[in-house]
Amino acid sequence: MRVKRVLFVAGFLSVLACDKNEALSQEKEVEETNLSYPYAIVDTGVETFYTDLAITSALSDGDAFYGQDANYTGNTPSYTDNGDGTITDNVTGLLWEQDMGEKLTLEEAMAKADASTLSGYTDWRVPTIKELYSLIQFTGQVMGEQAVEMFIDTDYFNQPLGDVGIGEREIDAQTWSSTEYVGLTMDSDETIFGVNFVDGRIKGYPKYKKATGSANTMYFRMVRGNTDYGNNSFVDNGDGTVSDKATGLMWQKADDGVARDWEEALAYAENLELGTHSDWRLPNAKELQSIVDYTRSPQTTNSPAIDPIFDTTEINDPEGNPGQYPYFWTGTTHLDGANPYASAVYIAFGEGQGMMNGTLMDVHGAGCQRSDPKSGDSNDYPEFFGPQGDVRYVYNYVRCVRDIETGSETH
């Protein structure tokens, strides 16, 4: 962004000419970066309570399934329609393109952002996966390949569906980010992470078409402002906890090496006492995704996709091979399928594996977000589900979180 320069000459102030849009840009830039936390996590919007199979009445401390997403309210989603094709996120300070237009290749999207003067600004960019995920709302619902309710606020953002008239599914309307996977998916595909606001997932998608080698196209939503968004600032507190000064969240440094179903995960988090604190909880989907490190993967760094300040248990994959890392539960229910209340969101810090044509492989990338059934007989899992044969563990791991500024101390 061009900056207004102020010069002091011969004892008086001389201000260089600056057009109206540049001055407005400066004023808004100050507003956008004047945030308590530069990486403020927007709440998921979830207010409904669930068991492992159904909607339930409001839950109180001590109830089964207490501690899920609806029990904790974070930064309430808040947007402003600026009336000029842009939407301001009042929590993150990011300014968004309202209508994505047609599908583009990544290269075309980068060129579009570079050339854009939308709303008088010239510093538009293709968002990172963390910027893009800030828009997701888990009040959405999907039924397999059919849309029910979008996972983005359609009062503000235009969200297309896949064109069934040309053979697409309704869910084929993914929004890509600028974040390319450091590994490969499907054994050999260069991959771009995207958020599907129709089915409520993060996945890695092939950058190129296998049949022709030409670049794939997808939707892109441009963004500008708050260039610190998505950057963590971790501090090891030396007591088994790690603080993120960018988000205002404190994390359990090491998982406890135990796989649990969703109800057990909620209970573990609610009862944890660590680092003199007893107000730990299971993170919601957006909180947990905030600590993914997309520069790391088992393929490229022989590590999970998380900063090495954290300790993560290594596990064997479903075929017994070492070098895989767990999926981690969140407190967020993912509304999908014949029983839309039966699954909860997890983040894959290891590879997002699936069984394709009898071969176990990384199908969606370390750092993807999918969902597992909340409960089931441990003898039946892992199993494989869906067109990419997603690995379902059901018994996943836990990394607890709490707010830095508020909470109770243990006694």
Nearest to 125 by CA among 254, 50, 217, 225: 225
Q: Is 48 in contact with 55 (CB distance < 8 Å)? A: yes
Report the candidate in 131, 98, 152 with the shortest Cα–Cα distance to residue 225: 131
Q: What is the pLDDT along the chain (411 residues), one digit of tens a residue?
A: 323 223 223 333 333 333 434 444 444 443 444 468 999 999 999 999 999 999 999 999 999 999 999 999 999 999 999 999 999 999 999 999 999 999 999 999 999 999 999 999 999 999 999 999 999 999 999 999 999 999 999 999 999 999 999 999 999 999 999 999 999 999 999 999 999 999 999 999 999 999 999 999 999 999 999 999 999 999 999 999 999 999 999 999 999 999 999 999 999 999 999 999 999 999 999 999 999 999 999 999 999 999 999 999 999 999 999 999 999 999 999 999 999 999 999 999 999 999 999 999 999 999 999 999 999 999 999 999 999 999 999 999 999 999 998 754 443
Give the CA distances from residue 373 to residues 113, 200, 376, 395, in Å, rounded to whole numbers and listed in that order: 39, 15, 7, 9
Which pair of tokens denotes residue 92? Answer: 């993150």
Q: Provide the pLDDT for residue 242.
A: 98
Side-chain-side CA neighbours of residue 123 (13 Å): 15
Q: Exposure string (b/e) for 214-235, b if CB count within 10 Å is 16 or more?
A: eebebbbbbbbbbbebbebebe
DSSP class of residue 73 equals: -
- The answer to whether the beta carbons of residues 208 and 214 sit under 8 Å apart is yes
| pLDDT recorded at residue 36 | 85
Dist CA 229 CA 231 (whole Å): 6
Question: Of 137, 153, 296, 125, whose CA–CA distance to 220 is shortest?
Answer: 125
pLDDT at 2: 29
pTM over the 0.85 mark: yes
Q: What is the pLDDT of residue 38?
A: 97
